Amino acid sequence: MKNKLHFRTIVISDLHLGTKGSKAKEVTNFLKQYKCRKLILNGDIIDGWQLKKYGAWKKKHTAFFKTVLKMMDDYDTKVIYLRGNHDDFLDQIMPLKLGKQFQIRKDYILKSGGKRFYITHGDVFDSITTHMKWLAYLGDVGYTFLLWVNKLYNHYRSWQGLPYYSLSQVVKQRVKAAVSYISDFEEKLTELARSRNCDGIICGHIHQPAIRQMGDVIYMNSGDWVESLSALVEDYNGNWSLIYYNEEANTSKEPTISEFFGQKGRLAQVS
């Protein structure tokens, strides 16, 4: 049996459990391969928006939480669930703390390698999700439709022996408004980190995995488990990296090397 890799912290976000696009089996398999001291579920884990209308809760969604509970029981993992815009139903119960191992809250400050990281889902700076929720719902319908089209298209590509192709990612990269939105989002989140006297920001929300230095602030985004299938991980030396799940091999790839602080070939060193 393969030895499990050990991490101090794993951060995952945007699972959207309850939707057809959620890669629930994949994220569950991912967590079964690793053990960590701290698991941070950074928002949009459960998609309450779609569950209210046309979503469906399945056994594979329950299996994810069973795996999280097993991590808590077997490895004494501490789990921190941060509320996102799609699981805003948590507003009714948070902050909630169950013993020493599980809590639900709005945000969190993580100490890592002698630095402080402010962790939040990121929708706090999204004017659409906070002030124009009806438009956010409309955008969610459009995104769901795009994922449906993307699924059909990739069935065809698979039949042709071609690799996976993400329509939504291409749209985001080519539409100027989307590129501008992402850039503005990142800048506002780094400003938030500074205002909290933190050295870095860890977020999700926009489904764009990243580790980069933005001025004096380290910006990190854990991506999502709809298309990117990515997670942020921290080792015991305070090094951060992104891991992408390899769906075909039913295993995860080795941690990607992040070109960080201008030092090529080293993991993201934040100590």
The predicted pLDDT at position 261 comes to 32
Residue 202 CB partners (closer than 8 Å, separation 6+): 11, 40, 42, 110, 117, 118, 119, 120, 220, 221, 222, 232
112 pLDDT exceeds 90?
yes
pTM > 0.95: no
CA distance 152 to 2: 34
CB 190 within 8 A of CB 205: no
Residue 7 backbone phi and psi in degrees, to 5: -130, 150
CA distance 44 to 12: 10
CB 220 within 8 A of CB 213: no
Bridge-partner residues for 79, per DSSP? Answer: 39, 102
Residue 267 CB partners (closer than 8 Å, separation 6+): 235, 239, 240, 241, 255, 257, 258, 260
Q: What is the pLDDT of residues 145-186, one digit of tens each?
A: 555 566 666 666 677 777 766 655 655 555 445 545 677 888
CA 103, 105, 109: angle at the middle one, nearest 5? 95
pLDDT band at 262 (very low <50, low <70, confident <90, very high): very low
pLDDT band at 130 (very low <50, low <70, confident <90, very high): very low
Out of 80-94, 121-135, 196-210, pick the least confident: 121-135
> Stretch 15-41: mean pLDDT, rounded?
94
CA distance 39 to 176: 35
> Stretch 246-252: mean pLDDT, rounded?
56
256 pLDDT exceeds 80?
no
More confident residue, 130 or 48: 48
